[in-house]
């Protein structure tokens, strides 16, 4: 029975993780805008208030500062809150709380207090939501010591990593993608925790290593299938967590393939792809046949018009083209 799986969506997998952890530990509480009565803007918290009452599932005012501040206070006083920010773009409003308080308090108290706080939010484009609702800002949080940063790409990873994040005694930025919520995949029936800092090889290959995050994992897998028709065997690696980052798995792959491409939806300039590319160069330089490639969004606010949005964000065709260049 431990190997049994169930097909479900990414949103349902997140919901399953919340239910399991709230049943397991009464200290787990959930708070955010419209997460109780309406079940969240993306239906991730649907049904929780009926199951656990308004005492543990709290609708909040439209104030990201208040949400993060209240969640931090709850974490410092013994609760294990999961705070939802509807759009990662609006984490900007709470950056003082996240960067100056959440990330630093455990260190500044010499470990006298723990901060078991999960901040769930979603980012990314591809839905025509324009410049203020479509950003991928994970690099901001990766840059701040004291925060863990997680980006699951599949329903199974979403469920397993959220379980781990909720049990973690340090703050976790748990970053989802709006266009992954409806994607489906197998999820273990038995409660399963996936450790942070362990990458997953989504597709083994021998010619090129593609390291992709979030929705770009799906794009990279699609590109790999197209390239396979040309005889190019692509290995696709999903780091799953950016902090901690499993460079060992990535470097081992690059040492076998001799070529690497890093793909993320965030703006290429200053993105986490640069950090991963630097790590590959530092640890596997002598194994590289060509320089490490990088794909990211253009340095432009995300357009509202869908054709322009597609032009700014990485597409499957961009990954295919970049891999062809690497193996040429």
Yes or no: say if 40 and 84 are a contact pair by the CB < 8 Å rule: yes
Question: Which tokens in the block code for residue 214?
Answer: 């979030």
| Cα–Cα nearest to 220, from 231, 209, 229, 230 | 209
Give the span between the Cα atoms of 311 and 328, in whole angstroms: 25
Catalytic pick from 21, 64, 138, 265?
64
Query: Any bridge partners for residue 83, and if so which?
Result: 31, 119
Give the span between the Cα atoms of 57 and 39, in whole angstroms: 10
Please list the alpha-helical segments (H only) found in the chain: 10-24, 48-52, 64-76, 95, 105-108, 138-142, 155-167, 215-228, 247-257, 272-284, 306-312, 316-327
Yes or no: say if 112 and 80 are a contact pair by the CB < 8 Å rule: no
Active site (annotated) includes residue 23: no
Active site (annotated) includes residue 133: yes
Give the span between the Cα atoms of 248 and 273, in whole angstroms: 16
In sequence order, what are the residues at sequence separation of 6 or more whose Cβ sits closer than 8 angstroms to the Cβ of residue 285? none
Which pairing describes strands 118-123 and 293-297: parallel, antiparallel, or unpaired?
unpaired
Question: Which tokens in the block code for residue 100?
Answer: 């100056």
Yes or no: say if 150 and 115 are a contact pair by the CB < 8 Å rule: no
Yes or no: say if 141 and 132 are a contact pair by the CB < 8 Å rule: no
Yes or no: say if 211 and 274 are a contact pair by the CB < 8 Å rule: no
* Rg, C-alpha atoms of the chain: 20
Yes or no: say if 220 and 263 are a contact pair by the CB < 8 Å rule: yes
Catalytic pick from 20, 133, 138, 264?
133
Catalytic residues: 64, 133
């Amino acid at each position: 029975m431990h190997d049994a799986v169930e097909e479900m969506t990414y949103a349902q997998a997140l919901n399953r993780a919340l239910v399991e952890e709230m049943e397991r530990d009464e200290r787990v509480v959930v708070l955010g805008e419209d997460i109780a009565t309406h079940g969240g803007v993306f239906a991730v918290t649907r049904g929780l208030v009926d199951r656990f009452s308004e005492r543990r599932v709290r609708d909040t005012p439209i104030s990201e500062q208040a949400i993060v501040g209240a969640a931090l206070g709850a974490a410092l006083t013994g609760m294990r809150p999961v705070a939802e920010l509807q759009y990662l773009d609006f984490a900007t409003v709470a950056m003082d709380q996240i960067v100056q308080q959440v990330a630093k308090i455990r260190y500044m108290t010499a470990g006298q207090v723990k901060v078991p706080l999960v901040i769930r939010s979603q980012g990314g484009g591809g839905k025509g939501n324009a410049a203020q609702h479509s950003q991928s800002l994970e690099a901001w949080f990766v840059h701040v010591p004291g925060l863990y940063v997680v980006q699951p790409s599949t329903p199974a990873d979403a469920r397993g990593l959220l379980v781990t994040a909720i049990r973690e005694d340090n703050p976790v930025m748990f970053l989802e993608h709006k266009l992954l919520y409806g994607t489906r995949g197998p999820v273990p029936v038995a409660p399963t925790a996936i450790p942070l800092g362990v990458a997953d090889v989504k597709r083994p290959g021998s010619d090129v290593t593609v390291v992709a995050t979030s929705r770009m994992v799906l794009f990279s897998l699609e590109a790999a299938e197209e390239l396979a028709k040309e005889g190019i065997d692509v290995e696709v690696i999903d780091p799953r967590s950016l902090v901690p980052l499993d460079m060992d798995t990535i470097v081992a792959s690059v040492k076998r393939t001799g070529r690497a491409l890093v793909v993320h939806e965030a703006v290429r300039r200053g993105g986490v792809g640069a950090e991963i590319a630097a790590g590959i160069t530092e640890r596997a330089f002598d194994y590289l046949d060509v320089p490490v490639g990088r794909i990211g969004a253009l340095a432009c606010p995300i357009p509202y018009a869908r054709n322009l949005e597609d032009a700014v964000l990485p597409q499957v065709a961009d990954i295919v083209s970049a891999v062809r260049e690497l193996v040429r």
